[in-house]
């Protein structure tokens, strides 16, 4: 209970494990063997378990951080003056991150990971604001709900991760963006 400060080498190893986990989870998702993470960190498997009670816990630790960043960004966008531009900025950010981060899509809807739920809910709430405001100014079709968006975004991230050709992502993002806009309603172009 009395959190004694970690020994110096312990803290260093903890950081190394997190770093290795970040990279490998991003590359191959949850499928990567834990031993590989340990090896990449220059550490034995036992050491990983000293710091994280389970493989899932490690995944959580890595993923919560990434999701938290995303939530923060979404909140920043929500505070933007121009709701349409704000929504666009968020999509931009997501397509950037999509490059080769397979753990993000898994994190969106992963179930059964206790620690992920709060951040998922925060993301949901932030997106609700972002989408709602964009819909008010007619930048996003009104029937769209946050879960729809999450599914779509997840699909995009997944698709991007699987395709070897990076330009695929550009075209997919294009389709998504145009599809989210309301069907041309005369006079909607500010």
Partner DNA sequence: GGCTAACCGGGGCGCGTGTTCCGTATATTC
Partner DNA sequence: GAATATACGGAACACGCGCCCCGGTTAGCC
Q: Which residues bind to its own copies, rule: CB under 8 A? A: 109, 141, 143-145, 147-148, 151-152, 154-156, 158-160, 162-163, 165, 168, 171-172, 174-181, 183-184
How far apart are alpha carbons 65 and 133 in whole angstroms? 26
Report, in Å, the least distance between residue 36 CB and DNA.
8
Element containing residue 5 per DSSP (H, E): none
In contact, 119 and 64? CB cutoff 8 Å: yes
Whole-angstrom Cα distance, residue 169 to residue 159? 8
Residue 32 CB, nearest distance to DNA (Å)?
7
Binding mask 37-76 for DNA (x = CB under 7 A): -----xxxxxx-xxx-xxxx--------------------
Provide the minimum distance between the beta carbon of 115 and DNA in the complex, in angstroms, as a whole number. Answer: 14
Identify whether the C-beta of residue 68 lies closer than 8 Å to the C-beta of residue 47.
no
Closest CA to 101 of 127, 66, 73, 77: 66
Give the range of 35-43, 85-93, 103-111, 117-125 binding DNA by CB under 7 A.
35-43
Residue 61 binding result from its own copies, DNA, none, given CB thresholds of 5 to 8 Å by partner type: none
Residue with tokens 């995303």: 70
Which residues between 1 and 20 bind DNA (CB under 7 A)?
Answer: 4, 6-10, 13-14
Helix (H) or strand (E) holding 156: helix 146-162
Binding site for DNA (CB under 7 A): 4, 6-10, 13-14, 32-35, 42-47, 49-51, 53-56
């Amino acid at each position: 209970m009395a959190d004694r400060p970690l020994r110096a080498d312990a803290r260093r190893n903890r950081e190394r494990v997190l770093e290795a986990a970040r990279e490998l989870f991003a590359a191959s998702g949850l499928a990567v063997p834990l031993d590989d993470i340990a090896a990449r960190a220059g550490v034995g498997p036992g050491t990983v378990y000293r710091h994280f009670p389970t493989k899932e816990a490690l995944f959580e630790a890595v993923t919560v951080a990434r999701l938290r960043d995303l939530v923060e960004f979404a909140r920043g966008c929500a505070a933007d003056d121009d709701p349409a531009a704000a929504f666009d900025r968020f999509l931009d950010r997501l397509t950037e991150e999509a490059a080769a981060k397979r753990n993000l899509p898994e994190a969106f809807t992963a179930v059964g990971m206790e620690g992920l739920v709060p951040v998922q809910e925060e993301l949901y709430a932030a997106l609700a604001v972002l989408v709602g405001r964009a819909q008010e100014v007619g930048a996003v079709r009104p029937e769209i709900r946050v879960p729809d968006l999450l599914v779509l975004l997840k699909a995009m991230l997944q698709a991007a991760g699987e395709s070897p050709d990076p330009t695929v992502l550009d075209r997919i993002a294009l389709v998504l963006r145009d599809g989210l806009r309301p069907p041309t309603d005369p006079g909607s172009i500010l």
